[in-house]
Amino acid sequence: MRALLIGALALVAGACVGVGSHLHSESVADPPVSEAAHDEAEPAPDRRGPAPETAPAPEPERVAAPAPFFVSESDGRPTYIRRENEAPNVRYAALDRPGCEAELTRRGIAFARAPSVWNVMAPVWLEGPLHGVTIRSKYLVPGGRHARMEIMGCRLVLALDDFSVLLAEHDITEVLHLSAFRSRKEGGCTPKYNGKQHCAGLALDVASLKRRDGTVIDVKRDFHGRVGIATCAEGAEPVKPGAGAETLWGLVCEAARKGIFHVMLTPNYNTQHFNHLHLEITPDAGWMLVK
């Protein structure tokens, strides 16, 4: 009897173990999930908290425009140069030949030395454009670029290089001039400024400008001024509106504010300047005349 009882207990225990194992294996199996249930499942809540507010982008720093070297009087009379020690025209006028030619080289300006000319400290010929702007005589002259009337003083070329930056901003690609160097016998300088002005190769008479699209701005035709009126004083404007006049007046006054030349004479100055802009570097001058 004892043996039979032990055997029965063993069978019961084995059956319980089998049932328990089967139940355990089914309880850990993942229940099937339909595609629909997966699609409709809500995402887990975001426990990171609300996103921080986006900070506004900082405003770009405003850089103040440099103070002008020249502010015109209402009557256009000569005016002292502001911040004279910094003005380009004053710095250029003070250069000697080695210093001026070194600056041409530093800027990468293509030039050739011209033969010695009386009164011209450092005579040169331009051998290429300045900032994409070709400057040449209006006339077909013997010798082309190496003609006598194409001779310029080195210091004038530095000023023209600065001026050409402004010209390029207006899409100007060519400047035609009436003269650069002229002797006193040719009317290149007045008795008061003997040895200066055109006589020193330090002045250029600009007749016209040509844009990249072929448009020509002619000083005689397009300036629209009148003898006696101011050019760059507050409220000054052409007597007749026009795109050419706007460009010419704007270039003159911008060059004046930047202190590029000492003297800039327009058709507003006198009848002798009815067809050109006279641009000049004047040695030993602490003033500017723009009219």
CA 200 to chain centre: 30
Domains and CATH numbers, the chain: 79-290 (3.30.1380)
**pLDDT number for residue 276:** 98
**pLDDT number for residue 211:** 98
> pLDDT for 24-51, tens place per residue?
433 333 333 333 333 333 344 445 555 4
Burial 19-42 (b: 16+ CB within 10 A, else e): eeeeeeeeeeeeeeeeeeeeeeee
**pLDDT number for residue 248:** 99
> pLDDT for 207-250, tens place per residue?
999 999 999 999 999 999 999 999 999 999 999 999 999 999 99
Structure tokens at 31: 């229940």
> pLDDT for 64-86, tens place per residue?
667 899 898 877 788 999 988 89
How large a percentage of the chain has pLDDT more than 70? 77
Neighbours of 14 (CB within 10 A): 10
Section 143-166 average pLDDT:
93
**pLDDT number for residue 10:** 41
Helix (H, G, I), strand (E, B) or coil at 280: strand
Question: What φ, ψ does residue 246 adopt, rounded to 5°?
Answer: -60, -40
**pLDDT number for residue 73:** 82
Residue 113 has pLDDT above 50, yes or no: yes
Residue 205 has pLDDT above 70, yes or no: yes
**pLDDT number for residue 146:** 86
Residue 281 has pLDDT above 70, yes or no: yes
